[in-house]
Amino acid sequence: MKNKNVAIVGATGAVGREFVGCLESRGVPLASLKLLASARSAGQKQTFRGQELTIEELKEDSFNGVDIALFSAGSGISRQYAPIAVKAGAVVVDNSSAFRADPAIPLVVPEINAHRLKDHKGIIANPNCAAITTLVPLWPVHQANPVRRLIISTYQAASGGGAALMEELEQSTRAYLDGKPYEPKVVKHPYAFNLFSHNTAIDMATGYNDEESKVIKETKKIFEDDKIAVSATCVRVPVLRAHSVSMTFECERPITPQEVKALLAKAPGVRIVDDWANNYFPMPKDASGQGDVLAGRIRKDLSDPSGKSISMFVAADQLLKGAALNAVQIAELL
């Protein structure tokens, strides 16, 4: 992105603010940065590298002169404005679900399939946050010993639902501790001291919710392997930020925990946290605010006598590697 004109769409949202933070912390010498949001946010100020930038209203002419546009304003906005940005000459990196399933649009995790960037025709999709968290540590194993089956359960933080859901978790927790009633506004269920199936629609034919279906489909697309059998259970937990995933995967050939640890020890974007003696493993508190996927609890799946299966627990910051950081890494590689 050196000396490029960059725009952020959805600059006042949880991921939009992290876009700004990533660009600042990584020190890329941009030519300019334009912050775009809805009309109600226009005129607000954000600081970037010591300068005060004014939020501008997103309009059809907002992308004149823009080289790279980072989108995180929902799939509806992406479908409407991403083609406009491309027509104006920008390359779009989109954090919504709008384009992920489109076979013509690359779905990219830089540690896994950066080579797909050459296939873009103006739009690049940023994967689902739970998929990124799962696949970054699984990829080095898959390269060495192909994964044939994957079963995951996710523990997804409020940050996955944006700033409004994070605020609801804080407010409902405060009300619970004060003994006061609180009526949920963003989700259907009480959030404080509770967990519930991910708040996306259930497919009445399969019983899987939309989040689970995304992880299943995106795993196959990113790994470029339709033969992988994937099952997912996605759960929202009362954690502010950083998703965790419990996974069990079956490889083509027998594999040991020691082999998995050796592969992860040299894998980009992965940090092993696997202290059996002190019962210390990946946690949201340690994953928050940093860019690696933490991996631990690496052990044999005792239910598989073939020795081909491993169980593992991972955690990553949903707002960073699960969203903003991954998108900025894509933009840097462009």
Residue corresponding to tokens 């519930």: 196
* Whether 46 contacts 53, CB under 8 Å: yes
**Residue 36, CB half-sphere, CA atoms under 13 Å: how many?**
23
Q: How far apart are the C-alpha atoms of 202 and 185, rounded to whole Å?
A: 20
- Widest distance between CA atoms in the chain: 62
Does the annotation mark 120 as catalytic?
A: no
| DSSP one-letter string for 66-86 | -SEEEE-S-HHHHHHHHHHHH
- Listed residue (15, 57, 14) closest to 34, CA to CA: 57
Q: Which of 22, 129, 234, 251 is catalytic?
A: 129
* Whether 292 contacts 132, CB under 8 Å: no
38: which 2 tokens?
A: 């809805």
| DSSP one-letter string for 204-218 | TTT--BHHHHHHHHH
Does the annotation mark 243 as catalytic?
A: yes
* Whether 109 contacts 326, CB under 8 Å: yes
Q: Which of 120, 142, 198, 243 is catalytic?
A: 243
| DSSP one-letter string for 100-166 | TT-TTS-B--HHHHGGGGGG-SSEEEPPPHHHHHHHHHHHHHHHHS-EEEEEEEEEE-GGGG-HHHH
The residues assigned a catalytic role are 129, 243
